Amino acid sequence: MNSRFFLRCPARLRRGLLITHLATIAALTPVALQAADHGDSPLLGAIGRNDAKLTDLHAFTHNGNLVIALSTNPAIPPGVEDYLFPSDLTLQILIDNDSRVRFDDPNDLAEFGGTIAKPAMIRPDIVFEIKFDRSGEAKVSASGLRGPDKKQVRLFAGLRDDPFIRAPRQGRNVASIVLEIPLSAVIAKQSTLLIWATSKIPDVQGPICEHAGRALRSMFAENDPMNTLRPRDHFRILGVTPDVMIYDTARPAGYPNGRLLTDDVVDLVGDPRILANDAPFPSVNDREFLADFPYLAPPQ
Amino acid sequence: MRAVNPCVRVGMILVIATGFSNLGIAASTDRAISRYEAEVSRYPERYPVRVQLADALLQKARESHDLTVLEQARRELHLSLQTQPTYEAYLTMARVQNYSHHFDDAIKWARIAEEASPIEGADSAITAVLVEAYLGLGKTADARELLPISENEPTDYYIAASLAQCLRAEKRYAEAADAFLLAGKIAKKANVAALVDWAEWSAATVRSEADHLH
């Protein structure tokens, strides 16, 4: 069929030829496994809002400070040198600093970093909300912190090398937020924190349109409902262990206790569905991380 | 399907309901366009919304057969790309160019989108754009080469629909009809009724083409 034939076709026939716009709903595509959080929440891709996707969440301590890195947008074209965060995007980093966590169940310890004693009671005690003005500049507001501590929040927002240690992501960039705050400002009665992050855009109803907790959980198709629910509702509604990152700050960080930038979670989790696409199985990031703030490697 | 703003949800259905101008959803497309136009007028920096507006304009063209709206779609996409290059803008531009029968240009944009794709491996949305473009150029073999060779039936709607179109171009009507029906099954599994209808309508159309030839 040549283009001239195509142009002569009756409209009904022409409509029959046009296929590319038929299936923007990603549910029609089998979930091609995109590791970390890079490919979950297919709805966001379907409505053209990859910018609201959360790709990775890292948490560790450095010189007495808590560092949390949240990365977004797996679809930034290579070669792009600047990134404008959309002004209708809201990101939140949430911390529950008083839910009791046990470390006596070896299975939970290995899979989740511990056992949350009352998963239905998980609630954020501290919320960092990041919004962007019309020039893309990030503004962070913090609730649950003491007044003087709010002034100690250090913020980075911008284009960074994708910190996900995975072959298909080499050479790619993401849009990242990095927060650094004295650990003493977020610790209450215990050393253990539950950490998670969400994104929100007006087009998607409800308080959450994407969720990130422990690496390589909510990205699986069977866990996609986690992405629109609060962690306590993962337990109450879905009946599963809430997807949060457990981080006992009294112990060294490293998956599944928090997550270091250098953690090769693909290998550490070892799910064959993820390993399948990882050849040649890198164990370090393709760009060296920085020793100091903002820690993430510069963009490629 | 997760909850989206009703306006956007209608837009999504519109986007996928190719050729079903009798669904009475044109007014909803107009509402989506008005909403996005108002938003980019107030917030011109919102580059993702400009892509959504372009997508709605493309749907308007499909429903009305008025290709003049595609000029506005292209303008919005260029403005979006000037603010921030994105995968979504590249892919939508490829779709707009396909619908305008600028197939060579569609291939160019699709190849750029491919570089930015968040999908590991082949991005079936891009494959579908390319298949459509090559078929539009009469390069059926090139289109066919893009589709994965497998002994198993496709499980991806884009791939099933693209395969059906290739088979149709090769005049293998019975197999094309089967591929359309398979696409319909995938759509049914995903609860997208408009696409089930489209696939079944396409299968029937292909069969009637075959009957006509005989």
- A91 C-beta neighbours (distance < 10 Å), count: 24
Q: What pLDDT is recorded for position B212?
A: 73
For residues A284-289, give the mean pLDDT: 96
- B49 part of contact set with chain A, CB < 8 Å: yes
Residue B37 pLDDT exceeds 50: yes
Length of chain A: 300
pLDDT above 90 covers a percentage of chain B that reads 65
**Helices B173-189 and B193-213: crossing angle, nearest 10°?**
170
Burial class (CB in 10 A: 0-12, 13-18, 19+), B139: middle
Helices and strands per DSSP (H, E), number in chain A: 9, 12
Mean pLDDT of A140-156: 95
Report A:109-148 residues touching B (Cβ under 8 A).
134-136
Tokens of B203: 């299968």
The pLDDT score that the predictor gives to residue B44 is 96
CB < 8 Å to A30, chain B: 155-156
The answer to whether residue B22 scores a pLDDT higher than 60 is no
Q: Where are the alpha helices (DSSP H) in B170-192?
A: 173-189
> Sign of torsion, CA A201 B54 A45 A300?
negative
pLDDT at B36 over 90: yes
Rounded to the nearest angstrom, the minimum Cα separation between B214 and chain A is 19
Q: Write phi, then psi, for B66 (nearest 5 degrees).
A: -95, 100
Q: With contacts defined as CB-CB under 8 Å, which chain A residues touch B49?
A: 88
CA distance A273 to chain B (A): 13
Indicate if the alpha-carbon torsion angle A241, A245, A249, A254 is positive or negative.
Answer: positive
What's the rounded Cα separation, in Å, for the pair B169 and B176? 9
Give the tokens for residue A194. Answer: 């539950």
- Tokens representing A276 are 């399948």
Which of these ranges, A154-163, A235-244, B20-29, B182-191, has the smallest mean pLDDT?
A: B20-29
pLDDT in tens, A119-145: 999 999 999 999 999 999 999 999 999
Is there a contact between B5 and A203 if contact means CB atoms under 8 Å apart?
A: yes
**pLDDT grade for B18, boundaries at 50, 70 and 90:** very low
| pLDDT interval class at A180 (50, 70, 90) | very high
Residue B81, token pair as written in the block? 């790309």
Angle CA B91–B93–B94, to nearest 5: 65
On the question of pLDDT at A176 being above 90, the answer is yes
Given a cut of 70, is residue B181 above it in pLDDT? Answer: yes
- Residue-level pLDDT at B95: 96
Contact A77 B116 (CB under 8 A): yes
Which of A13, A22, A80 faces B161 most closely, judged by CB atoms?
A22
The pLDDT of residue A196 is 98
In 3D space, the residue among A94, A72, A93, A96 whose CA is nearest the CA of residue A83 turns out to be A72
What angle in degrees, to the nearest 10, is found between the helix axes of B103-116 and B87-99?
Answer: 160
Cα distances (Å, whole numbers) of residue B123 to A95, A119, B16: 36, 38, 17
- A256-294 as b/e: b if 16+ CB within 10 A: bbbbbbbbbbbbebeeeebeebbeeebeebbbebeeebb
CB–CB of A19 and B4 under 8 A? no
What is the predicted pLDDT for the residue at B33? 96
CA distance B151 to B161: 17
Share of chain B above pLDDT 70, in %: 86
- Mean pLDDT taken over chain A: 87
Q: What are the tens digits of pLDDT across the range B99-153?
A: 999 999 999 999 999 999 998 888 999 999 999 999 999 999 999 999 988 778 8
Instruction: For residues A253-269, give the mean pLDDT.
Output: 95
> Would you state the pLDDT for residue A7?
33
Query: What is the ipTM for the molecules in this complex?
Result: 0.83
The alpha-carbon gap from A119 to the nearest alpha carbon of chain B, in Å, equals 24
pLDDT in tens, A212-222: 999 998 888 88
A9, A14, A22, A76, best to mutate vs chain B, most B CBs in 10 Å: A22
3-state secondary structure of B25: coil
Decide if B128 touches A, using CB distance below 8 A.
yes
Mean pLDDT, chain B, whole residue set: 86
Render pLDDT for A6-59 as a digit per residue (tens, 0 to 9).
333 333 333 333 333 333 434 454 444 444 455 556 678 778 899 999 999 999
CB-defined contacts A:B, below 8 A: 209
Neighbours of B81 (CB within 10 A): 18
